[in-house]
Amino acid sequence: MRKKVIYAQPCYGPIDPHIVKSGRQAIMSARDVEWIGDASPIRQGWVAARNAVAKAAVESDADAVIWHDDDVLLHPQTFARLLRYDEEFVTGILFQKFEPFYPLISRWGVNGNGFSPFEKWPENTLLPVDGCGFGVCMTTTNLLRKIQALPGFVADGWFNQLPGPRGVDFSEDFSFCIRAKEAGVQPYCDTAILAEHMIGPVYASVANHKASAESRKEK
In terms of pLDDT, which residue wins out, 218 or 208? 208
Closest CA to 158 of 136, 135, 193, 182: 182
The DSSP line for 195-218 is -EEEETTEEE-HHHHHHHHHHHHH
The total number of structural domains that make up the chain: 1
Burial letters 36-58, b for 16+ CB under 10 A, else e:
ebebbbeeeebbebbbbbbbbbb
Q: Per-residue pLDDT tens for 84-128?
A: 999 999 999 999 999 999 999 999 987 767 899 998 999 999 999
Domain ranges, residue 44? 3-218
Query: Using one digit for the tens of pLDDT, what is the confidence trace for 117-169?
Result: 998 999 999 999 999 999 999 999 999 999 999 999 999 999 999 999 878 99
138 exposure class (CB count in 10 Å sphere: 0-12, 13-18, 19+): buried
Is pLDDT above 70 for 36? yes
Q: How confident is the model at residue 82 (pLDDT cuts 50, 70, 90)?
A: very high
CATH number at residue 77: 3.90.550.40
Where do the H-state alpha helices sit in the chain?
17-29, 46-58, 78-82, 141-148, 172-182, 206-218
CA-based Rg of the chain, rounded to a whole angstrom?
17
CA 187 – CA 194 distance, rounded (Å) = 17
